[in-house]
Amino acid sequence: MKFVATLLFASLLFAVRPDTLLAQSHQKPEKLAQKSAEAWLALTDSGKYTDSWQEASASVKAGVSPDAWFKTLTTVRSPLGKVLSRKLQNATYTKSVPFEPEGEYVILKYETRFAHRKHAVETITPTLDKDGKWRVSAYFIK
């Protein structure tokens, strides 16, 4: 019976595809943070503001209620209309950002066109949260 359990455990280990895990562990923080930010932006772009709060960093959740988050994004994003295009301009890894504790951050700047604003710069700052996932900790539009 122990042999069967060991064989089952070993087969599950190989099912995880170690090559995939290794590839993810070797990705640069900028790329991992960008993937997370773009998934978060997809929620925001589709008006799922409460869902975007759920996916935000622990610091966002500690500092802003879901209702306040929803109201702020509704006020800021809704008037801009649909996203027509978004292009990453730069991604900068840093260990410190203003008004946040030391940690791991990536500052992403996108040139974005909205239906009602032809030129905007979105700045999204994901942080590496305690759960090991990159999550958005700040979002600004200029």
Say what the pTM is: 0.80
Give the start-to-end residue ranges of the domains of the chain: 28-141
Residue 132 has what pLDDT? 95
Terminal CA-CA length for the chain: 64
Residue 27 has what pLDDT? 80
Strand extents, DSSP E, the chain:
83-94, 105-114, 117-128, 134-141
97, 105 contact by CB (below 8 A):
yes
pLDDT digits (tens), the chain, 142 positions:
443 333 333 333 333 444 434 444 568 999 999 999 999 999 999 999 999 999 999 999 999 999 999 999 999 999 999 999 999 999 999 999 988 889 999 999 999 999 999 999 999 999 999 999 999 999 999 9
Q: What sign for the dihedral angle of Cα 104, 102, 50, 140?
A: negative
Give the H/E segment covering residue 71: helix 66-77
**Options 2.70.70.10, 3.40.50.970, 3.10.450.100, 3.20.20.240; CATH of 28-141:** 3.10.450.100
CB-CB neighbours of 42 under 10 Å: 13
